[in-house]
Structure 1
C-alpha cells in the first residue's frame, strides 16, 4: 500500500517502516519513542483525514467535497498545476457544483454559464469581491481604491476611469501605440534581425518578455502620461518590477509572510505613490502638459458627495491601471503572436487584410485610424479566439458573507433539496472552463479564428450574448453595460466587476499586432502549454518565436 505523493515527498508505508527501524536501532529508548511519534505523525494525520472523508457522512445540504489526501493543503497542488483539467475532472465526479480545500479555505466551484451567472451576477452584499482580494491588491494598488473601499465607492472610481477612456482619446492612442511599437522594433536589441538590411536573416525573441515591454511602453504613452513614459528607462522600471513581485499566487494565499519580496513590494509602492502624487501636485499647480491621459480625466471628477478625488486616490488608481492592465494585455498579446507564428497561413491572411485596407499606390502601408482598426474582421476574430482559449484569469473568487442557496436549476440533487453555501466559505467561477467546454464548442481546444465568421454559430451567439444579452443593460455605477453573465464567453469578466478597459484592450492589442505583422513574418514549431503558476496565465518557456523582416522591395 502507498499514498499518493506530493512532488515525491509523501513516502510509502514500507519506507516509513524503514525509517522507524533505523531510528529504533540507534537511539535511546525515550528518544526512540519521541522520534517514532514524530516520524509517524504525518502519516497518521493523512490517514485520519482520509478516514474522516470516507466514514463521516457529509452534510447533505452542502455541495460534495473533492477527495484530498492532505488536510489544510487539500486540492491546492492539483488545482494550482492545471486548474482547467482539475475542474473538468471534478465535474465528471461531482457535477457542476463542488467544494475543494485550498490551503484551509473551503471553495465552492459553480461551473458553466449558469454557475458564472450565479457567482458573477450575485449580490455583492452576499458574494463579495473585496473580502476575497483586498489582501492581495491593497498592498500593491494602495489604500482607498479598488477593493480597499466599499463596493459603491469602487463603482464610482470605475466610472471616473471610464470617462478617460473616451472615443476622442482612443483616436489619439492608435498613432501613439503604433509609434511606440515601431520604435521598439527599430531600436531594441530584441529585434536585432529586423534591424538588419538582410531580409533573409531569421532572428528569435522571447514573446512574453517582448510583449511585457511593449505593453508597458504603449500603456504609459497613452493612459499614464508623458511623465511616466519619460521615466520608464530610469528608476520607475525598478519600482515597477519590485511592485510586480508582490502580484503572485503566494501573495494571494499568504499575504503576511516575512519575506524580502514583500518588503520590496511595500517600499516600491510607497515610492511609486509619491512619484504619481508629485505629478498630480504639479498638474494642480498649472503645469499640465498632458492632453489625453487618465490623470487629466481624474483631476476633473467628483464623487456623488461633491468631493474631488484626493491626490493619493488618483495616484493609487493609476498604479492599479498600470499593474492590472499590463499583465492582461501582455499575456493576450503573447498568446496571439504564438498562435499566428504557429499558423502562418492565418498570419499571412492578417497581413493581406492590412494590405487591403491600408495599402498605398507605392506598395507601402499607411497608418490606421481608430475606426478603421475596429472594422478589421480577421484581426477582430484573432483577438476573440485568443481570448477564448487563453483568458488572462482562469478563476474568479468571491467571499460568502451570508448563507446563500445555490439555484435549483444549477445544483439540485433532488426536487425538494438545494445546496446552501455557508457564511465564511468562498465561491469560485471559471469562465475559462465555459470557453473551452466541448459540450458547447466544436473542437474546443483548437485555435480557429474563423469560427467567429458564422453569424449563426456558437461563437457569434456567445459574443452577442456577452455584449448585448437581449438588449438588457444595467448601470452598476459606472455606466450601463451588458451583464454578460449568461454567456459561455466572458474574456473580460461579467457583472458589476466586468473590466472597464475592454475597449482599450482591443485597441491596444489590435494596434500592436497589426504593427508587428506588417513588419515581420513569424514561425514557431508549436504553441507552448499554459503556465498556471502565475496570477495571469502565461505561456511556459521556451516561448521564443522565429521572425524575419518582410521584404517591401
Structure 2
C-alpha cells in the first residue's frame, strides 16, 4: 500500500472516529453507549446475537438506552408498560413507514410509487376480517387437507421420514399460497389437485431458498455467491407469481383481487406487481410454518401437554357427524372452543416470536415513561421495542420464563388467563407476537386459525413421532431475530403417517 493510500485510510478512520465521538449525551436523554469501534459501535454484537446484547445493555443501563449500531443511533425501550405510548404515537412524531419501505426495497426489490403502508392496510383490512376471514379459513382447511392428507383413494400409506420444520412450513405455505393466490381449476378434479400439489411445491421450495437468505439481504451482508443465488431465486419466484400467470387461476381470494387492484391504481407495472406478490407471500405465510414447528415440537417433548391437547380435541370433536379426515370444513365454533390449544399457541409464541417494533424519530420530542420519568429523543434516531425480552421473557412477569408450560395462559377453571403483572401493575400487552398499535398484523386471525387447523389435522389424522426420543429442542438461528418467528438452527427428524 502506498503512503498516499495509507494516509487516506488513516484520515478516513480519523473522520469516522470524530463523527462517532462528536455525539455526547444531552440532559434528559437516555444513557448513551457508543461501543469501542468508531462508527460501527455495537454493530457486530447486535448482528451476532441481539437478544444477548440487549440483555447485557439492560443490565448495564436499565430499561431505556441509546446504542450506536453501524452509524445509526438506536434508542431501545424495554419497559412493556411504556409500549402503548410508543405504538400509538402519530406518524408525525414516530414513523414506521420509512423503515418498512427500506426493508421492502432491500429485501424484495419492491418500489411502489406514492406508497403508503397505512393506506394499504386500510385497503386490505376488510379482506381479512369477518365474512372474508371465514371464507379464507374454510379454503385453508380444504387446501391443508389436500396437501397434508392427499387423496383418500390412494389407500393406506406407510411411514414417512422428514424434518418437522419442513413438514410444517411446506404444508402451511403451500396451502396458504393456494388459499390466497388461487387453485388450478374449479370444480377441482384429481388431475387439477395433482397440478396444484406440484405447483405449490415448486413455489415453496423456491421461496424457502429465498427465506434462508433474507436476514443477510436485510443486513446487506450477502456474499457474491449469495447474490447470484438470490437473483436466480427471485427471478423464478417472480415468474411463478406473475399477474399473467395468476390471472388464469380459480378461486382467487378477495384479498388477492383487492391487492392487485390497489397496485394497478398505483400505476405499478406487471413486473413490479410480481415482486410485490412475492413480498406478500412472505408477509402472509412466512411465520405460520415456524410457529407450527415449535408448537408441535413442544408437544412431542411434553407428554402431559400433548395428552391435554388430544383430550380437548376428543371432547370438542366427539359430537361431530364425521371424522376430521372426512370434513370439508372445521366449524368456527370448534376453532373458538379450544382453550388448551390456545394456551399452547400463546406459550409457543411467547417463547419464539421475536419481531422488532421500530419507529423513526421524526422530530425532537419528549417521551413519557409509565413510571413518570421522561426522556428526550433526537430527530433522526431510531426507536426500537423488543418484546421478546420484555414482556415475553421477563422473569418478573413469568415464572421460569425459559420453560414451556402448556397451561401458562389458562386459569384454574379452564378459561383464558389474561392477567399478568409487572411491578404490581397489570400489563395491557403481556405478549406481542403480532406487532402493536398502528402496525399490528392484520392477518393474525387468519394465521391463528390456519395454525390451529393444521395442528388439529396432524393430531387427528396422522401419527407423528420424533425419530429419536432423546432429540433436544434445537437452538435458535440467531440471524432471525427481528424477523418474526424464530427458526431453529437445524431441523428435527420425525416420522409420520396418515392414519388409515
TM over 0.5: yes
Q: 1:378 aligns with which of 328, 336, 340?
A: 340
Q: 2:398 aligns with which of 425, 441, 444?
A: 441
2:77–2:383 CA contact under 8 A, matched in 1: yes
Partner of residue 277, structure 1 = 243
Unaligned 5+ residue runs, structure 2?
185-194
1:220–1:229 CA contact under 8 A, matched in 2: no
Superimposed CA distance per residue, residues 88-126 of structure 1 (whole angstroms, 9 cap, x where no aligned partner): 322222111101122221110111223422332222222
Shift in Å, 1:395: 1.9
Q: 1:522 aligns with which of 465, 469, 473?
A: 465
Partner of residue 62, structure 1 = 29
Q: In structure 2, do the counterparts of structure 1 residues 350 and 506 end up closer, same or farther at CA, with 3 Å as the change threshold?
A: same
Q: In structure 2, do the counterparts of structure 1 residues 457 and 388 end up closer, same or farther at CA, with 3 Å as the change threshold?
A: farther
Partner of residue 122, structure 2 = 156
Matched, 1:326 2:285: yes
Q: Helix, strand or coil: the match of 1:451?
A: coil
Q: In structure 2, do the counterparts of structure 1 residues 264 and 57 end up closer, same or farther at CA, with 3 Å as the change threshold?
A: closer
Partner of residue 397, structure 1 = 358
Hey, what's the Cα distance between the residues in 2 that align with 1:539 and 1:319? Answer: 20
Q: How does 1:232-271 map to 2 (within 5 A)?
A: 232=199, 236=203, 240-241=207-208, 243-244=210-211, 247-248=214-215, 250-254=216-220, 259=224, 261-262=226-227, 265=230, 269=234
Hey, what's the Cα distance between the residues in 1 that align with 2:320 and 2:295? Answer: 30
Matched, 1:75 2:42: yes
Q: How does 1:142-541 map to 2 (within 5 A)?
A: 142-144=110-112, 149-159=115-125, 161-162=127-128, 165-183=132-150, 195-196=157-158, 204-227=161-184, 229=196, 232=199, 236=203, 240-241=207-208, 243-244=210-211, 247-248=214-215, 250-254=216-220, 259=224, 261-262=226-227, 265=230, 269=234, 272-273=237-238, 275-279=241-245, 289-290=250-251, 292=253, 294-298=255-259, 312=270, 315=274, 318-359=277-318, 365=324, 367=327, 368-391=330-353, 393-409=354-370, 412=373, 418-433=374-389, 434-454=391-411, 460-461=417-418, 486-518=428-460, 519-523=462-466, 524=469, 525-534=471-480, 535-541=483-489
Say how many residue pairs are matched: 469
RMSD (CA atoms): 4.4
Shift in Å, 1:348: 2.6
Deviates more, 1:96-105 or 1:70-79: 70-79
Q: In structure 2, do the counterparts of structure 1 residues 309 and 327 end up closer, same or farther at CA, with 3 Å as the change threshold?
A: same
2:137–2:450 CA contact under 8 A, matched in 1: no
Hey, what's the Cα distance between the residues in 2 that align with 1:168 and 1:84? Answer: 39
Partner of residue 66, structure 2 = 99
Hey, what's the Cα distance between the residues in 1 that align with 2:496 and 2:212? Answer: 33
Hey, what's the Cα distance between the residues in 2 that align with 1:458 and 1:101? Answer: 45
Unaligned 5+ residue runs, structure 1?
1-29, 188-193, 198-202, 283-287, 413-417, 465-469, 471-484
1:332–1:386 CA contact under 8 A, matched in 2: yes
Hey, what's the Cα distance between the residues in 1 that align with 2:277 and 2:120? Answer: 14
Q: Helix, strand or coil: the match of 1:109?
A: strand
Superimposed CA distance per residue, residues 357-385 of structure 1 (whole angstroms, 9 cap, x where no aligned partner): 32489996553333312212221111111
Q: In structure 2, do the counterparts of structure 1 residues 377 and 183 end up closer, same or farther at CA, with 3 Å as the change threshold?
A: same
Q: Helix, strand or coil: the match of 1:449?
A: coil
Hey, what's the Cα distance between the residues in 1 that align with 2:36 and 2:430? Answer: 33
Partner of residue 473, structure 1 = none
TM normalised by structure 1 equals 0.72
Hey, what's the Cα distance between the residues in 2 that align with 1:278 and 1:36? Answer: 55
Hey, what's the Cα distance between the residues in 1 that align with 2:306 and 2:93? Answer: 46
Q: In structure 2, do the counterparts of structure 1 residues 60 and 459 end up closer, same or farther at CA, with 3 Å as the change threshold?
A: farther
